[in-house]
Amino acid sequence: MSRLNTSTKSRISSLVALWITLLAAVAIVSCKGSSGPFASTGGGIGGTGQSIGELDGFGSVFVSGVEWDTDSAIVVIDGATASEGALRVGMVITVEGTPDGSGTTGTADSVRFDPVVRGPISGMFVGPDGQTITLEVLGVTVDVDRDTTSLAGIAFDSLLFDDVLTLSGFFDQNGRLRATYAEFEGVLQLSVTEVRREGTITNYDGVSLFELGSVVVEVDAGTDLSGLPGGIADGRNVVVRGVMPGAGVITATEISLKAEPAVDLDHTSVEGFISSLVDLTDFQVAGLRVDASNATLDPVSPAFFFDGAMVQVSGPTQGGVIRATKLERRGTAVRINAEVADQADVNLTAGTLTLLGITISVNAATLFEDDRDGLASFELVDVLAGDFIEIRGYETAAGSVVATRFERDVTDDVVLQGRVDSFDPGSQAVMVLGMLIPAAASGAFVDVDETPFTDAAAFFAALQVGNLLRVTDEDDGDATSIDVPTELELEFETD
């Protein structure tokens, strides 16, 4: 890994200061201090249903495969009331309300966004493939992905130390935050810049100091503890807001209790990484316990569901446990960037798109985004021949591809990433996702750490069936196919 080049940045802060321009906070008892997948006991502001996941789109609000009518909903962003227009695709939000009988639509009472952390970058490393930057922000390890993290107010290659970011995403099984949304808030000013950190109180000295992970929190006479009934004590899950007088220290202006998860709900839908897996009767997603013993699995094989797998789970919550009726695999290991060759490749009836001869399915949980024209309600019906589409998704046991992210962008290099089905060293041909990749140009073979293989023979000697392989065909005027690959690169395992 190497440190990012500290190039000069040009920023327009008026585009990104969402929190600064919000109306003064209006106290809403059931939301104050709440965060992530947590709602007030019994279901939050109202209703009997809850969706937690990445905001997929507008028109209504689409999250975790549920379309919520938000006409009468309260929108709360980090404890302050806001308009729906302040929400952004990529934010992990909590929607509470009344779902219909199918669990695919509902009427929202509240839409809430609480960032996981807001603070300065204190550590920063670029992954070997240049695709991911790993950050340290107030002791939280954060992975920002060039393709799958929505950035506001800053470019991927412009991140620098002491940049203050508001971050949202999902914690994986190792406690790393996989960021789905990152917003630039300015550059750190000691004792001035507002920061936010969640965590469990440890090492409280009984007077004025405690720790949240590696961060030391200072409490003084000006700290608002009205949202922390019972006061400070080790083991309590809290949200701390304040300023930083120095590295790794927060002087708290407000400490509030992080609310407990709902105990009973008619319907819950949640996105996140599987962790603490015992078996399909006992695991966690987004910190919530799940029993999927009676769930319909998609794909049907239990082998697709393991610690670290990205999933969507839905079903009633009973006694604090989601009794899943459906468990669906998510993920972004498969990547297909190409131009739609023919309008017939868009099949609205089947809900599929064909790129590079590969059929890709979309569903209610697919996140659609239009980076080319900025169409707010972009869907499959809007795709035309000649559009350049970037797909992120996963391969099912049957070998088909399901899109979890579906983006339209300006034409660029053709990319195919997936697992190797088979290969022939003699002809230098590789089969990926059922597509035969022809022999690549000389010198185009790259290892996982971006080190070139000495020659094709060395590459094929190292190659194994099941390896994750990225095939690139640089933009040559034809983005509908892979002619002669300009690079074949082995990739790190990813979900």
Q: Write out the chain's pLDDT in tens, 495 residues.
A: 333 333 333 332 333 333 333 323 333 333 333 444 333 333 333 458 999 988 876 766 778 778 888 888 999 999 899 998 899 988 999 999 998 877 678 899 999 999 999 999 999 998 876 788 999 999 999 999 887 899 999 999 999 999 999 999 999 988 999 999 999 999 999 999 999 999 999 999 999 999 999 999 999 999 999 999 999 999 999 999 999 999 999 999 999 998 788 889 999 999 999 999 999 999 999 989 999 999 998 878 787 788 888 899 999 999 999 999 999 887 778 999 999 999 999 999 999 999 999 999 998 778 888 989 989 889 999 999 999 999 988 887 667 898 988 999 999 999 999 888 899 998 888 999 989 988 777 668 988 877 899 989 999 999 988 888 999 998 888 999 998 899 999 887 555
d(CA 353, CA 361): 7
pTM: 0.73
Delineate the domains of the chain, giving CATH numbers in brackets: 31-113 (no CATH), 194-257 (2.40.50), 265-329 (2.40.50), 334-409 (2.40.50.320), 414-490 (2.40.50)
d(CA 246, CA 260): 31
d(CA 166, CA 182): 6
